[in-house]
Amino acid sequence: MKTIRLKNKQIDYPILIGSNLYKDIGKICKKYLEKNRVFIVCDITIYNLYKDEIHTSFKKTKIECVFIPIGVSEKKKNINTVASLSSKIIAHSVDRKDTIIALGGGILGDIVGFTASIILRGINYIQLPTTLLSQVDSSVGGKTGVNNIYGKNLLGSFYQPKLVIIDTNVLKTLPKRELLAGYAEIIKYGIIKDTKFFQWLQKNGKKVIEGNTNARIYAIYRSCINKSQIVEADEKEHGIRALLNLGHTFGHAIESLNNYKKNIIHGEAVSIGIIIATKLSYVEGHINKITCDKIINHFVEIGLKISMPKNLKKITPKKFISEMIKDKKTVNKEITLILIKRIGEAFIQKKYSQNKLIKLFTEITT
Ligand code: GLY
């Protein structure tokens, strides 16, 4: 098992990465709990797959576990779900020594983290991510939240978990489409700050998708180290944490214009968004054609999505840009973009003329 410690003056928690960890989950969690009780929030599929193994493990350590299965989808990621989940938890007479466990993918982790941050003004929670995307990105760093009719993740909080446990075994039952969606977030770290990791992925990326356990553990470990370093330096996203949003401003606009329909899942929208950011970086003269092609070729080789879904091709650049403006990073209607200087270095681009962006957008998407 590999351990990363996310630590700065305010934060300190471990991220444990290994395979076959659920059988010892009770023992692993015990020292982070203040009571012999946990609430495990998960979706129905995950509940059916892992409830027995997890229940047995907690029972061995004499910890009561209360499972709370909920319906999870991007459409249900809203304040109503937070309200009903809070009620289900509060109904058990919770106090501030209780702990909630988020057992699931990114959407579930965001909902549960946000709910934990507001129950009694904040109770403990642990992240047990079950998708590649949530293992390499959303379970680490304490961003929690839900969507609002005006856009994605517009309601939320920064609220750190007590512990993150990443078991690569759960990836064995994950559909390939979900693995590819998660890979888009992995490659992001190579592009924004880790040249060597990008090179490693060029050689080993296929193994990560195909199921090689060591390759998966290494890719997750490297991703979590990169993410931890950024969060340690800038937890509340006043500066460099924004780099983690490479491709996301475009991606969130795609998801929102698509009404969060399942033909495009989050990681796929991010994948297309990173390609748009790469092309924009090239058109703007920040990277050369060789670098631009190197990034795109890797996406193609792995089988990631690189172009807009057919149903969105008719969207005008103006409409797309007005959707992008709803991004959390927008200030005074100025969109903040993350662009690329070289593989291993991204930067924040704040000043942008709308006309220029419209022209570039038309070139890029047609
Ligand atoms: N997923 C981007 C961040 O955690 O900052």
> How many Å lie between the centroid of ligand 1 and the Cα of residue 77?
17
CA of 174 to the centre of ligand 1 (A): 22
Give the nearest ligand 1 atom to 245 CA.
2
Ligand 1 contact via 266 beta carbon (within 6 Å): no
Question: For ligand 1, is residue 43 a contact (CB within 6 Å)?
Answer: no
- What 3-state class would DSSP assign to 261? coil
The pLDDT value recorded for residue 234 is 98
Kindly tell me the burial class for residue 289, based on how many C-beta atoms sit within 10 Å of its own C-beta (0-12, 13-18, 19 or more): exposed
Distance from the CA of 25 to the center of ligand 1, in angstroms?
Answer: 26
pLDDT value of residue 295: 98
Q: What is the reported pTM?
A: 0.94
Residue 63, SS3 per DSSP: coil
Query: Quick count: other Cβ atoms within 10 Å of Cβ 243?
Result: 21
- Cβ partners under 8 Å of residue 135, min gap 6: 129, 166, 168, 171, 182, 220, 224
Taking the centre of ligand 1 as the mean of its atom positions, its distance from the CA of residue 60, in whole angstroms, is 35
Which among 51, 47, 3, 50 has a CA at the least distance from the CA of 28? 3
- In a mutational test of the pocket of ligand 1, which residue from 186, 235, 245, 246 has the highest number of ligand atoms less than 8 Å from its CB? 245
Between the CA of 98 and the centroid of ligand 1 the distance, in Å, is: 26
**Ligand 1 in reach of 235 Cβ (< 6 A):** no
Q: 10 Å Cβ neighbour count for 178? A: 20
Distance 338 CA to ligand 1 centre (A): 13
Query: Which atom of ligand 1 is found nearest the CA of 143?
Result: 4
Residue whose CA is at the smallest distance from ligand 1 atom 3:
244
Largest CA distance in the chain: 63
| Ligand 1 contact via 106 beta carbon (within 6 Å) | no
Atom of ligand 1 nearest to the CA of 141: 4
pLDDT at 352: 64
State residue 63's pLDDT score: 98
143 lines ligand 1 (CB under 6 A): yes
- 181-365, what's its fold? Dehydroquinate synthase-like, alpha domain (1.20.1090)
Ligand 1 atom 2 nearest Cα: 244
Q: Using the mean position of ligand 1's atoms as its centre, give its distance from the Cα of residue 64 in Å.
A: 32
Asked whether 179 and 212 are in contact (CB, 8 A), the reply is no
Tell me the two tokens of residue 245: 């949003």
Return the ligand 1 atom nearest residue 140 CA. Answer: 4
What is the distance in A from the centroid of ligand 1 to the CA of 242? 8
Q: Could you tell me the CA-to-CA distances from 177 to 167, 204, 229, 244, 285 in Å, in that order?
A: 19, 18, 28, 22, 33
* The predicted structure's pLDDT at residue 344: 98
* CATH number belonging to domain 2-173: 3.40.50.1970
Contact 146, 77 (CB under 8 A): yes
Is the CB–ligand 1 distance for residue 188 below 6 Å?
A: no
Compute, in angstroms, the gap from residue 52 CA to the centroid of ligand 1: 32
What type of residue is 213?
Answer: T
296 touches 320 (CB < 8 A): no
Cβ 241 under 6 angstroms from ligand 1: yes
| C-alpha of residue 329 to centroid of ligand 1, in Å | 12
- pLDDT of 93: 96
Question: What does the domain layout of the chain look like in residue ranges?
Answer: 2-173, 181-365
Q: Please, what are the averages of pLDDT over each run of 10 residues along the chain (366 residues)?
A: 96 97 96 97 95 97 97 95 98 97 97 98 98 98 94 94 97 96 98 98 98 97 98 96 95 91 94 93 92 98 91 84 80 84 95 70 67
